[in-house]
Amino acid sequence: MNEKPIRVGVVPIGNLDGIFAKTVAAHLLGYFHLQVDILSPMGHPDYAFDPGRRQFDAGLILKALGKRPFRNSQKVIGIVDVDLFVPILTHVFGEAEQGGRHALVSLHRLRKREDGAPAPLSQLLERTAKVALHETGHLFDLLHCREKRCVMHFSGSLRDLDQTPLFLCKYCSLYLRDAFKRASRP
């Protein structure tokens, strides 16, 4: 049986430096061996701003991604530089439709060190890559992993995220490989 390649689209949302989309694309290709296209940017998500929380509703941005066709992309990852929330959490670094098509990566909280100073660019890009790999795992139905040495481990703080590796544990690797096989079937 011929397998079709899995194509992932990376969409900058708002005015972002191109280095972030290129970083996400490079890591999805290098670590997960996915075909990646950097797509045309979307406008700033003003529609998702919640004045009560002074943050942006990740669910509304995911819905907006869902309204765009992205015909050549099996999965789509948006990158945004706003502070995201979901109703049950104070903030999220990223959000994904579990087993679905769309995910988000937020740079907003990744830009800072724990003392509030700006994070060096190398640390910001590594964090961006980790969140993108993690959310991509969710798109292929991986759940949070108990293993701290796995990119699917839940990171509630920057300290957690910085201690998380850029790779999957052996169990999540096996699960993802099977998920890719299922997704590649014509």
Residue 95 falls in the annotated catalytic set: no
CB 141 within 8 Å of CB 98: yes
Catalytic residue chosen out of the listed positions 95, 97, 126, 135: 135
Count of C-beta atoms within a 10 Å radius of residue 106: 27
Q: Phi/psi at 95 (nearest 5 deg)? A: -155, 145
- The bridge status of strand 49-50 relative to strand 55-57 is antiparallel
**Rounded Cα gap, residues 30 and 82, in angstroms:** 27
Q: At how many degrees (to 10) do helices 121-139 and 18-32 cross?
A: 50
Residues marked as catalytic: 135
